[in-house]
Structure 1
Amino acid sequence: MKRLLVTGSNKGIGRAVVEAVLDRYTDVFVYLGCRSLERGTDARNQLGAKNHEYLSRIKVVELDVTSEQSVCEAEKDVRGECEAAGTALYGIVNNAGVFSSPAGIAEVLEVNLFGIKRVFDHFYSILDTEDARVVNVTSASGPNYLSSADPLVRRVLTDSQVTWEDIQHVVQLFLQNIENAAAVDQAQKASSAYGFSKACANALTVLQARLFPSLAINACTPGFIDTDLTRQLASMTGRDPADMDMKLPRDGVESTLFLLMAAAPTITGWYLGSDCKRSPLDTYRAPGDPEFKGN
């Protein structure tokens, strides 16, 4: 049985991914990762109420992607189970994400960028190095941000040879610049930080794929989905999610599932649109538009 970790999966797109995997693939066991065991247990019970069989293939794992200790303890838990079952971890879906945080813009980057790296770095050693899939759930906000970004930032975050030091450097520049932009209102700051964090996450995906060529590591956008995260954007702009044509979480799982289960293992280092087609890192490509062919 394949074993899969999904972070931030007690609600929204993460939970929808868990449900879709359990429904479509009966040979998959899911680690439902979330910050709160209580909320994770509630999510597990709700899934079990839909199909009692799911309960035998879900384990809730307490996992705060911003905490080194939490990620380390979660890895030990999952490692122990994998070793007992005599199998490796098949995949990771790095889904945990925030649009804004009371703790400030740095926390958005801590979750959306550093959290992805932290989870991968800890769980890499238990991945199946011959067949593993890693999916970093990002957003079209990344390409949208880069389409009008400073040329230096755009060049760094679209470079096929980008390094972690390069990404950290532009993060520091971003934090310095945005904190000094006192005239920018909070909605603009939050939107800018979110888009920047997702652009960085896409660049990190390219880096990870280059450093670990035996794995299939890709990023994707789920589309414009009605979740707690996107409702923050709607609230800040004074609009209603329905008026913004947001779709339901169950409509945002296809690109993730494609990369997990259907994509050729040679596909790696790509960013996919919600229609499962390759998309550029620095320009928005709408679903149905011609597929990006790469550089």
Structure 2
Amino acid sequence: MSLSAACLPVKEPAVHLESDVDASVVLLTVDGRWDRVLWKLTTDRLHKCLAEHPEALIVDLSDLDDPGAESATTWMAAQQKAAAMNPSVQLALCIPPELPLADRMQRLGARRYLPVYARVRQARVAIAGRLPLTERLAITLRPEPDAPSIARNLVGDACLSWDRHELLHPSRAVMSELVNNAIEHARTEMTVVVSLRGAGIHLSVADGVAAPPQLLRMSRVLRGRPLDEHGRGLHLVSVLATAWGSLPTRTGKVVWATLQPPLRQPRNSSPRLPSSIQNDGPTGPR
């Protein structure tokens, strides 16, 4: 090994997440030499990204040091998981064409519908062209007392317009808590988005503070002392929403929640009798 090569700094492994303001497209950047440590960190972040259930996930591998293309199986496994979700999550890779990993992923991805792009901008344009035309309402609010009311009305208009009457009241309550949380803890201008996700409603509030929200432990109710209401908002969100979470953005974070209508039993369905009862009848003529 030459002296100059020995003096080259070793790049620390890093995995960085960045979301759009409505949590619809997430960018996952993986840097450093591919080894067991980076594999573990990447796998954990991939699982987190998919648990957030965005519409699309772009994985930027431009600065990944993987001369043997050993990470290929990780990206193929992520593609299988993304495709199996309902609705499915579009997954795309960004790899410079001169890297060995690009050639291998081009060959593997062609059979598994995993597109590979040279640059993030190319991936964003292509993903935007394939995303479904989703109904979406957005508004920018200042951290003022009337912000929760304006956001609730936006949700109400969306639910009525999109025929999501069952989700009207719980969605308004969840949005109110998300906005109140941003007012109390971020105190910055916020972007409020309501979008249609299949049969459900997706709510998001993006603010200018990177620190994620904390689900606080509820204090005990003590006789003779006033009830501490602090921290109850996110508990209400966790009860009413099917799923919720937060993701970092370029300017802060986005806190999101998804609500789905309750499952209905078919009208003509009748309960099946246990097999022991079904078989207790006579088996032949009396």
Bigger proportion of residues as strand: 2
Bigger proportion of residues as helix: 1
TM-score relative to the length of structure 2: 0.26
Q: Using CA pairs under 8 Å that are at least 6 residues apart, name the structure with larger relative contact order, 1 or 2.
A: 1
TM-score relative to the length of structure 1: 0.25
